[in-house]
């Protein structure tokens, strides 16, 4: 039994095809087929049922392939642990985040690179559904999203790990009638037009808010934060956003825009990591996730009165 054989059967199970497995592993179809036949002969069981439609694991194969995945994950952990001892840890970490936390993410990356200079980062800003699909297709290692609603039941094959509890807040002009209070009720909020950032969670929240408290007047939706900022400053609209998204905004120190808590029942909403259940969660990814969680919590705590 060789490690390559384990890698090949896992790839065949993942793709459902010997041809696709050979392409992904950059070996010939014959090499995949021979490795599979040799391993089946050694183990004395058939791992796959093969047909023109592809390769499907047998009941026995599903059990043994799961064990093969565990073996390969342990081997990767061994290699990573050895790199730490020799201080030569290297590799690539592909991350995507929803709009908003990018500045926080970049700060964490800068600190992480000081400790692990040989790690190469690839970061992108995308929508939630695009992040989830890229993780399924193994184009990303981890994604940073807002965990809300029924995302988890709909994506049972993915693992979600809450990083930081967050909440929706309202942003209003400093001379708005609402600026003299700490919280705003749904009835008060609905009297004002909304200028909203184009974001899946914001859209979901507003739809849920409208269904519960009545329709709202949306002045416009955009991904141009300057346009939203100007509309709120001029008292033409109010805006809604996650509390952390206001941290880095340059207008806050001048108190041009104030944030108010929403007087609605609290919801369990988190900034969350998401990753594949099948893909090995590398030590690099785990360490960076822990670093970012620590940095975010520290930063949010520093802003509390």
Query: How much is the pTM?
Result: 0.64
Question: Domains in the chain, ordered, with CATH?
Answer: 3-83 (1.10.10.10), 89-163+271-303 (3.40.190.10), 168-262 (3.40.190.10)
Determine which of 15-19, 90-94, 117-121, 163-167 has the lowest per-residue pLDDT on average: 90-94
Residues near 92 by beta carbon (within 8 Å), at least 6 away in sequence = 119, 120, 121, 122
Cα 251–chain centre separation = 28
What b-and-e string marks burial along 211-222, b requiring 16 or more CB atoms within 10 Å of the CB?
A: eeeeebeebeee
Q: What is the pLDDT of residue 203?
A: 92
**Confidence band (pLDDT; 50, 70, 90) for 255?**
low
Contact 207, 145 (CB under 8 A): no
Q: What is the side-by-side strand order in the sheet with 142-147?
A: 119-125, 91-97, 142-147, 270-276, 158-165
State pLDDT tens for residues 205-254. Answer: 999 999 999 999 999 999 888 899 899 999 999 999 988 777 655 444 44
Residue 4 clears pLDDT 90, i.e. is over it: no
Burial of 119 (0-12, 13-18, 19+ CB in 10 A): middle
C-alpha 296/C-alpha 104 separation (Å) is 7
Strand partners, 274: 143, 160
State pLDDT tens for residues 261-279. Answer: 999 998 888 889 999 887 7
Q: Which helix (DSSP H) or strand (DSSP E) does residue 249 occupy?
A: none
pLDDT average, residue stretch 156-172: 89
Q: Which residue has the higher pLDDT, 256 or 210?
A: 210
Could you give the percent of the chain with pLDDT greater than 70? 90
State pLDDT tens for residues 51-91. Answer: 888 889 999 888 998 888 888 877 876 766 665 544 455 57
State pLDDT tens for residues 86-144. Answer: 445 557 889 999 887 777 787 788 888 877 787 888 999 888 999 999 998 889 989 99
Q: What is the pLDDT of residue 260?
A: 93
Q: What is the pLDDT of residue 250?
A: 45
Q: What is the pLDDT of residue 100?
A: 76
Give the N- to C-terminal CA distance of the chain in Å, as an integer: 61
Angle between helix axes 18-25 and 3-15 (nearest 10 degrees) is 120
C-alpha 225/C-alpha 233 separation (Å) is 12
CA-nearest of 246, 250, 263, 256 to 300 is 246
């Amino acid at each position: 039994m060789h490690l390559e054989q384990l890698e090949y059967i896992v790839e065949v199970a993942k793709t459902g095809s010997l041809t696709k497995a050979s392409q992904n592993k950059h070996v010939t179809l014959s090499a995949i087929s021979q490795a599979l036949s040799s391993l089946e002969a050694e183990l004395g069981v058939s791992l796959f049922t093969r047909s023109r439609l592809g390769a499907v694991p047998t009941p026995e194969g599903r059990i043994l392939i799961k064990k093969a995945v565990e073996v390969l994950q342990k081997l990767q952990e061994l290699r990573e642990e050895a790199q730490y001892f020799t201080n030569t840890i290297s590799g690539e970490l592909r991350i995507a985040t929803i709009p908003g936390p990018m500045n926080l993410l970049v700060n964490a990356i800068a600190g992480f690179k000081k400790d692990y200079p040989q790690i190469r980062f690839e970061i992108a800003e995308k929508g939630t559904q695009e992040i989830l699909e890229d993780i399924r297709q193994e184009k990303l290692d981890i994604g940073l999203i807002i965990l809300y609603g029924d995302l988890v039941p709909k994506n049972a094959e993915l693992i979600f790990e809450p990083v930081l509890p967050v909440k929706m807040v309202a942003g209003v002009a400093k001379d708005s009638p609402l600026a003299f209070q700490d919280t705003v009720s749904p009835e008060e909020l609905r009297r004002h037009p909304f200028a909203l950032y184009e974001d899946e969670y914001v859209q979901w929240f507003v739809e849920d808010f409208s269904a519960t408290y009545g329709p709202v007047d949306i002045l416009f939706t955009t991904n141009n934060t300057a346009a939203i900022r100007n509309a709120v400053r001029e008292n033409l609209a109010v805006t809604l956003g996650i509390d952390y998204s206001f941290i880095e905004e340059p207008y806050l120190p001048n108190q041009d825009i104030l944030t108010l808590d929403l007087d609605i029942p609290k919801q369990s909403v988190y900034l969350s990591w998401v990753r594949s259940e099948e893909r090995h969660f590398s030590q690099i990814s785990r360490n960076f996730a822990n670093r970012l969680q620590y940095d975010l919590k520290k930063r949010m705590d520093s802003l509390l009165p």
